[in-house]
A and B are shown apart, each in its own frame.
Chain A
Amino acid sequence: MPHQSHRRSSTVSIVSGLRLSGQHVNPEVSELTLLKEEPHTGDHFLSPTQLEVVYRTNVKNGLTENFAQELLLHHGPNQLKKLKGNSYWKIFRHNLFGWFQCVLWLGALLNFIGFFFSEKIDSGGDGHSGKDYLYLGCVITATIVGTGLFGFYQEAKNMAVMSGFEKLVPPNATVIREGLKKVIPNNEIVIGDIVEMSGGEVVPADVRILTCNNFKTDMSSLTGESEPIKHRPECTNTNPLESKNMVFFGCPITEGTAKGIVIATGELTQMGKIAGLVTGLEKEETPIAKEITHFIKLICGVAFTFGLLFFIMVYFIQHSWLAALQYMLGIILANVPEGLIVTLTVCMTLSANQLKKKNCLAKTLQAVETLGSTSCICSDKTGTLTENQMNVSHLFCNYTIYDKSDHAHVSDHAYATLSLAASLNLKATFAHDSMNLPIEKRKIIGDASESAILRYMEINRSATTARAENPKEAEIPFSSAYKYQVTIHRMKATQSYYLIMKGAPEIILEFCIKILTNEEDQPMTPQAKKELKANFIKLANMGERVIGYCDYILSLDNYPLGYKFDTQLRNFPVENLRFLGAISMIDPPRRDIDKSIALCRQAGIRVIMVTGDHPVTALAISKQCGTITQPTAYDYAFEHHIDLSDVPVHIKQQFRAAVITGDELRKMSVNDLKSAQMKYDEITFARTSPQQKLIIVETYQALSHVVAVTGDGVNDSPALKKADIGIAMGITGTEVSKQAADMILLDDNFASIVLGIQEGRRIFDNLKKTIAYTLTSNTPEMLPFVLYACLGMPLPMTLILILVVNVGTDLLPAMSLAYETSEQDIMSIPPRKPTDHLVNRVLIYMAYFQIGMIQFFAGMYAYFVIFAQSGFFPSSLIFVRKEWESPSTTVDDTLGRPWYFADRKRIERKAQTAYFVAVCWTQVSDSRPEHCQSSNCIACIDFSALDNNRHFIASNGVSRAVVNVRRLVTVPAFNLN
């Protein structure tokens, strides 16, 4: 045993080593890798006597009080660390000192420096007064703080206060210490304690069961298994999570009692490890954050390139370092898009709010865009893709499989008999307090499959009435030893006794000698048996749990009314029965889930199912949901009636879809997993542990996928946290999963994800447009300085006007672009590649050198018109800077009129105004918000089209030139008014 556990831990360390290669391995990370390891305790193999030795306890008497206190001091209390979500400070910091914000802060700082600089030296060289710098600095600061607080408010609002793991912890537990039963607070439990547990409670720690009686726990939060596990004291699996003699901290006990020995408490429990994982995991930067970083790099590059060029240019013309530096500062500031951060925040808020209306709550603003760039969705099965409720899916009788909704054969003899038998042979009942509710919503006391049958029969055959009319006389309850359940009823119709047996179909077939059909009973021949069994396998291969029924009409002669049935002595026949049929059940996929998944797949997004459930069930649900559409090795095995391991390798190689189980995963290295993920288009991961889910997500991320994880259980939360975007279910989801997630589907509707993807992609496109729009005004803001410094023309645009454009007139049109509707084919193209940037060279070139130039020319035209109308023809404006800026000289215009300083400053302001108006106006007509969407200049240029070479410019793009002409022509009209 030690050997095995050693080997496993070594492979894990290799695996984690591989996974971590290239990262900094600091102590915290290595602690995290420990948490990522699979559970490898050997306690479930040990016998109680061995356990007594290991844990220095006594199975009968428990620990001594003293030793328990000692252990409590040593290991600490049995409780989980509080799961900390994003603290408010973190959100605040993120919103005020993100990358972009830092660049803006730097800009503001430069302004303040410029202010003090120009105050001190006052060379008056660059046409800005010191005050301009001060205003600019103040406005930039105000912008950052304002938008930062706004974003903070938005995100903090969505951070509903949620309790985490602590809710899972039961308040008290029953332990045996010093031979006495005691009820102690749960956090005082120590390793080695002997605990007693019973139905309705929650497992107080990780416990190895010593004795139990019909003990069932719901391990769905750990394993994702939808049904309660029935426990046994024996070891059944090498994997402790699957071994029946282990129960885990936080799992609710559905029924039964058990006594066991505590083997782990607090942080060391499985749940504690998950909690530790969730707390310890750090998310990667969101794609949009990456994009913004990239954008900042680009814009800084552009700003500094232009600034430097300009610096050199001015230096060669004016031979003054100081003037050149000042000009450079002006140029760099002209390039900083002060207003962009406002627009970005508003755009994302708009989308987040839009999604919220569709019951999709984004906890961070950036989450929406992340969803848009998602290329892979790892979805949990239970509760996410399925309803997390067993339902009858097929009925089998008369050698035919009927669908649950197929009601054409209800009156058939066989069908009716089967239904009656199924209605009667039930332990489950409706809870009294929910009887007035519709059947679907009633609470049922009983296990999942009985509940499913009861619900189905109640809806279709009014089971309650049948059961009241035909009371149960005797019962052999289900036992795993003989795997059937027998009830005897007193039938109202015949006034005789009726025996019904239900159980695993292969087992009960052995008790039958006849088969019920619609005509008459047939004898059970080997041929018939084979056929029946084939049908059972068919059902089982659909991932369904099959329950067989057979009956025996007890003749009145032998069993008169009032006959005492003794279940111990079995004074009634349980052989030579008549086979009725079978009912199969499944946790069905949610309604329309297949459509949502088809939409995702159409949008080029892989949908991977990652579940803790059995591979066959997982495969069946995958097929129904549409995550697997191609045959797998399992199908081959089913078809050829062979074992999965017997499928020839060369055939295995051909499949494009696969089901990978947790056990297989455990044997794979990270590279194996990567190659599998690359090889198979469609994968379903079954029987995975929370840690494995995490590894799967990490490997997909390593393959450059942007991974979304949907899930509801505690077992999903590490993956939810690690994913680029974790999506939790609002109704069925546990608090832990909600806290780990970035987005919550308030109505548990998977279709919301599709909407979210659409919204996210739209945001990305619209942000592109917004950024392009905002950047275009940089050229007309920058070039005036070139004219001023190099050609000595009166300055066409001042810093203050730049500011007004950037944070004033540009804002609303830019925001209006956020309302752009999406492109028609937005959901039929693959997700953007990580190399498709928000702002790429194409966009920069277009903004700066094309549209920006148009704006510049329009502005210059307005400027010349104003000057020319006042007598300064363009020729008289060149190389006049020195005279122009000197207050004591006069400047002659083309008509020979000398202009005083005050007068020419007035005309300069008029020309600046004209330039400004022209730029604003061209800017506005770039987006033309008064016309409805998609007819505007920036918007009609489909940037994704540029990237994908689909079509260059959307139909309306052609009108750009026309607009330009009109613009140039109408600008004078503007000025004349």
Chain B
Amino acid sequence: MASKLNGVETTVWARGPPPDRTCGETFMRAIYDRDENTFLGRTPKRWAIAITFYLVFYAVLAVMFAICMGGLFYILDDKKPTYILDSSLIGANPGVSSRPQPLDFVVHYSTENTTGHDFYMQDIQDFVKNYANESWFNSKKECTVEDNYGFPESPCFFIKLNKIYGWKPDFYVKDFPEDMSADLVEYINNLQEIERQQVWVSCWEEHSKNDTKIEYPWGRGLPGRFYPYLNEDGYISPVLPVKFTPPANTLAVIRCRAWAKNIVYNKSLKEPSGYVRILLQIDDDTAANATETSKE
């Protein structure tokens, strides 16, 4: 017994030197060892066992994961997010955005070359596809497919508010804030009280050269009847086109602000909120046109 415990009865310590093999042989042996009948270090039987083990293991793991995910989906409402408004990360302050989206910061095209503005028109087309069945949308005369959305000279930019679940705008009906532009105040004042349930939109040129002609063909507000957004089927958020006619070959920086008492306006460019910035340049020069095409 003693000798057995001593671990020396078997010649376990007395191993011979490692067999002399070349690098290639060792490698081949790692793949298939004839003596031990092993592929990549395991016999077929061991492989089967290992594979079965991992299959079962991962199956169990996947099932557990699936159960957990199932539980998660069971709890989750697929219509209503768990956290809304102020408790959610997206917040209660809807972002303002515009279509078409610029390719790289600036909507830049030339009147001569149709491919430049075709892209943006296509973007608008894609965007308004959802609105095809909306009567209020189809009833409009300007900024429609018929007039090419104003392209190329005076393109329409569709201003919209990002959807925030449960967000209800607090409209400016009277007592307008000081920074609201006079023309908007005048416009609102001209409307009847009942029509003032709108999220107002005003656009101005940032450098206040006022060279760009800004028109609001559909009016100046997003109708309040669309709010709040509760993820109903077929919900379409309202849009408002604004038509810009900038002078040719100059970059127009236009800022469009949405007005509601609960839309926080932060004019900072780093953390923008409550407005969308549109950079628009329409080229009408043959020379400029030439360089543009080469760039494209």
Residue numbers of A with Cβ under 8 A of B are 375, 601-602, 604-606, 629-630, 656, 678, 681, 703-705, 828, 830-831, 833, 841, 849-850, 853-854, 857, 860-861, 864-865, 868-871, 873-874, 888-890, 894-900, 902-903, 906-907, 910, 961, 964-965, 968-969, 972
Contacts and interface: CB of A to CB of B under 8 A. Distances in A.
Contacts of B246: none
Nearest to A706: B13
Contacts of A890: 95, 97, 162
Contact of B58 (A630, A853, A910): A853
A830 B97 contact: no
A601 B83 contact: no
A854 B15 contact: no
B271 A868 contact: no
A889 B98 CA distance: 11
Contacts of A375: 7, 13
Contacts of B88: 870-871
A707 B97 CA distance: 77
Interface string B1-36: 011011111011111000000000000000000000
Given A703-B13, A871-B81, A888-B102, 8 more contacts: A601-B5, A604-B5, A606-B8, A629-B2, A870-B82, A895-B165, A897-B81, A902-B271
B83 A869 contact: yes
B69 A861 contact: yes
B231 A857 contact: no
B269 interface: no
B290 interface: no
Interface of B is mostly: loop
Contacts of A972: 72
A470 B71 CA distance: 102
Contacts of A870: 81-83, 88-90
Contact of A703 (B14, B57, B60, B79): B14
Contacts of B83: 869-870
Given A604-B7, A681-B8, A903-B90, A895 B162 contact: no
B108 interface: no
B231 A896 contact: yes
A602 B69 CA distance: 53
A889 B101 contact: yes
A894 B3 CA distance: 72
B68 interface: yes
A401 to B, nearest CB: 28
Contacts of A850: 57
Interface string B51-82: 00010011011001100110111001011111
19 contacts: A375-B7, A604-B7, A828-B5, A849-B54, A853-B57, A857-B61, A864-B69, A870-B82, A870-B88, A871-B81, A873-B78, A888-B101, A895-B81, A895-B165, A896-B235, A897-B90, A897-B163, A898-B95, A969-B68
The contact size tier of chain B is 35 or more
A605 to B, nearest CB: 8
B217 interface: no
Contact of B76 (A831, A869, A889, A969): A869
A841 B50 CA distance: 13
A353 B76 CA distance: 55
Contacts of B58: 853
Contacts of A703: 13-14
Contacts of A907: 89-90
B164 interface: yes
B91 interface: yes
Contact of A897 (B7, B14, B164): B164
B136 interface: no
Contacts of A861: 65, 68-69, 72
Interface of B: 2-3, 5-9, 11-15, 41, 54, 57-58, 60-61, 64-65, 68-69, 71-73, 76, 78-83, 88-91, 95, 97, 101-102, 104-105, 162-165, 231, 235, 271
A910 B11 contact: no
Contacts of A968: 64-65, 68
Given A864-B69, A870-B83, A853 B90 contact: no
Contacts, number: 122
Contact of B65 (A604, A857, A871): A857
Nearest to A905: B89
B72 A865 contact: yes
Contacts of B11: 678
A630 B71 CA distance: 69
Given A606-B8, A870-B90, A910-B89, A601 B2 contact: yes
B113 to A, nearest CB: 23
A900 B164 CA distance: 12
A820 to B, nearest CB: 25
A913 to B, nearest CB: 12
A944 to B, nearest CB: 14
Contact of B61 (A704, A853, A868): A853
Contacts of A678: 11, 13-14
A971 B289 CA distance: 59
Pick from B64, B78, B80, B95 the residue with the most CB of A within 10 Å. Answer: B64
Nearest to A853: B61
A895 B163 CA distance: 9
B89 A896 contact: no
A937 B190 CA distance: 74
Contacts of A602: 5
B69 to A, nearest CB: 7
A789 to B, nearest CB: 21
B72 A864 contact: yes
Contacts of B14: 678, 703-704
A446 B88 CA distance: 95
A603 to B, nearest CB: 9
5 closest Cβ contacts across the A-B interface? A830-B7, A604-B7, A869-B82, A871-B81, A898-B162
Contact of B165 (A874, A897, A965): A897
A902 B102 CA distance: 19
Given A868-B72, A871-B81, A898-B95, A888 B105 contact: yes
A396 to B, nearest CB: 32
A894 B2 CA distance: 72
Pick from B41, B65, B104 the residue with the most CB of A within 10 Å. Answer: B65
A874 B68 CA distance: 13
Contact of A965 (B64, B79, B104): B64
A3 to B, nearest CB: 37
Contacts of A828: 5
B61 to A, nearest CB: 6
A854 B71 CA distance: 18
A406 to B, nearest CB: 29
Contacts of B71: 969
Contact of A906 (B61, B68, B89, B231): B89
Given A375-B13, A869-B83, A898 B163 contact: yes
Contacts of A656: 3
B291 to A, nearest CB: 24
Contacts of B80: 895
A888 B97 CA distance: 11
A899 B91 CA distance: 10
Nearest to A898: B162
Nearest to A976: B82
A870 B95 CA distance: 17
B294 to A, nearest CB: 24
Given A870-B90, A895-B165, A900 B95 contact: yes
Given A870-B88, A903-B90, A898 B97 contact: yes
A791 to B, nearest CB: 16
Contacts of A606: 6, 8
Contacts of B54: 849
Nearest to B75: A972
B83 to A, nearest CB: 6
A857 B64 contact: yes
B285 to A, nearest CB: 27
Pick from B68, B72, B95, B105 the residue with the most CB of A within 10 Å. Answer: B68
B6 A601 contact: yes
